[in-house]
């Protein structure tokens, strides 16, 4: 294991060649599984269940939130740019106390679920993804965008709320993956 900053011994699973920045905070390490060749940059905060496959990068300042009942999954070769918020749990703010410091009988309508960031998917800087959104393989979300619904395969989305912009080059990206894996594994 190549890890220079963070002791991953409390994680449920940690692969090889994993680097976790020294200022990363993981509230529930027993709910976190990390594959091989993963970097989680400094100032990232994680307070939910998390499964990360291989060759994933989470840039600095990201927040992966949702609590113990929620889950965020990353497919291989996926990426978060800086300051992304993945909110796998949220409140509708319409009635009830919006704080985790009260019992469920006093809370409003909670939306807690799973966010899936598919293989070769990218989330642009300062974007927000709400609960139960699935990034299908190769989908991308541009900077400063809001994803409230699923993103189709190999399509770039942007805006608030996110809308389809154009198709990504699936063949080129998959060919690059094949070349990379032949050289490095």
pLDDT tens readout for residues 110-133: 889 999 999 999 999 999 999 999
| Cβ contacts of 177-185, under 8 Å, gap ≥ 24 | 177/77, 177/120
CA distance 114 to 20: 23
Pair of tokens at residue 34: 């990390």
What does the pLDDT read at residue 74? Answer: 98
Give the three-state DSSP class for 86.
Answer: strand
Q: In degrees rounded to 5, what are phi and psi of residue 140?
A: -140, 145
What does the pLDDT read at residue 1? Answer: 45
CA distance 171 to 33: 30
Decide if pLDDT at 138 tops 60. yes
Residues 6 or more apart whose CB falls under 8 angstroms from that of 44 comprise: 21, 24, 25, 58, 60, 61, 62, 63, 64
Distances (CA, A) of 132 to 7, 15, 125: 31, 26, 20
pLDDT tens readout for residues 146-166: 999 999 999 999 999 999 999
Half-sphere exposure of 43 (CA within 13 A, CB side): 9
Decide if pLDDT at 5 tops 60. no
pLDDT tens readout for residues 23-81: 999 999 999 999 999 999 999 999 999 999 999 999 999 999 999 999 999 999 999 99
CA distance 123 to 110: 24
Find how far residue 96's CA is from the centre of its chain.
Answer: 28
Domain topology for 8-184: UDP N-Acetylglucosamine Acyltransferase; domain 1 (2.160.10)
Domain ranges in the chain are 8-184
Give the three-state DSSP class for 16.
Answer: coil
What does the pLDDT read at residue 93? Answer: 75
pLDDT tens readout for residues 95-113: 787 777 788 778 777 889 9
Per the CB < 8 A criterion, the answer to whether 115 and 99 are in contact is: no
């Amino acid at each position: 294991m190549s890890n220079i900053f963070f002791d991953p011994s409390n994680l449920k699973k940690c692969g090889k060649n994993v680097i976790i920045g020294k200022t990363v905070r993981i509230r529930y390490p027993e709910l976190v599984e990390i594959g091989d060749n993963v970097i989680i940059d400094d100032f990232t905060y994680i307070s939910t269940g998390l499964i990360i496959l291989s060759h994933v990068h989470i840039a600095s300042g990201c927040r992966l939130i949702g609590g113990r009942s929620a889950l965020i999954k990353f497919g291989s070769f996926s990426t978060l740019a800086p300051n992304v918020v993945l909110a796998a749990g949220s409140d509708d703010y319409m009635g009830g106390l919006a704080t985790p410091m009260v019992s469920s009988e006093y809370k409003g309508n909670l939306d807690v679920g799973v966010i899936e960031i598919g293989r070769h998917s990218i989330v642009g800087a300062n974007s927000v993804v709400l609960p139960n959104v699935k990034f299908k393989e190769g989908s991308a979300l541009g900077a400063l965008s809001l994803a409230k619904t699923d993103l189709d395969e190999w399509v770039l989305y942007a805006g608030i709320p996110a809308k389809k912009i154009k198709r990504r080059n699936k063949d080129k990206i998959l060919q690059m993956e094949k070349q990379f894996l032949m050289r490095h594994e």
